[in-house]
Amino acid sequence: MSFEFKVEGGDFTHAGYASSQVKKMLKQLGVDSNIIKRVVVCLYEAEVNIVAHARSGVIYVALEADYINMRLVDSGPGIPDIPLAMQKGYSTASKEVREMGFGAGMGLPNISANADSFNISSVPGTGTTLDITINLNSAF
């Protein structure tokens, strides 16, 4: 099954919708709650990244019985130095975003730690694509 969720840059009010929808589906499938948690953490962090940094983005979710793949494609500033962005605590989030409780610089490291497979590619000035896959059968 495949789904698409559109994400609007700057709209923190509606961030989290995709995570809630995906979460319900995983519960329907009877996926272990620890795995659901990892999926939801990855998706929410990635969604908030788009809201905080990009103009807009789309989340493509492919759900099968044994795995979930989430591809998040945004049109935004892109990331010039990916290894630097992957470091814990590194963030380019604005003061406003930090004041809302986001932008602690834990997003990408968190996603990487919770995903079974994680790929990031970025073109400065164009946008960033995250590709996250999580196995739904085994425990972490």
Binding site for other proteins (CB under 8 A): 1, 16, 19-20, 23-25, 27-30, 33-34, 36-37, 40-41, 44, 64-66, 101, 136
Beta bridge partners of 61: 3, 70
Q: Is the dihedral of CA 11, 89, 73, 94 positive or negative?
A: positive
* 8 Å CB contact between 20 and 37: no
Cα radius of gyration (the chain): 14
d(C-alpha 11, C-alpha 50), whole Å:
10
Q: Is 91 helix (H, G, I), strand (E, B) or coil?
A: coil
Task: Please say which residue, 48 or 130, places its beta carbon nearer to other proteins.
Answer: 48
CB of 4 to other proteins, least distance (A): 14
CB of 1 to other proteins, least distance (A): 6
Task: Please say which residue, 6 or 24, places its beta carbon nearer to other proteins.
Answer: 24
Task: Please say which residue, 48 or 127, places its beta carbon nearer to other proteins.
Answer: 48
CB of 41 to other proteins, least distance (A): 5
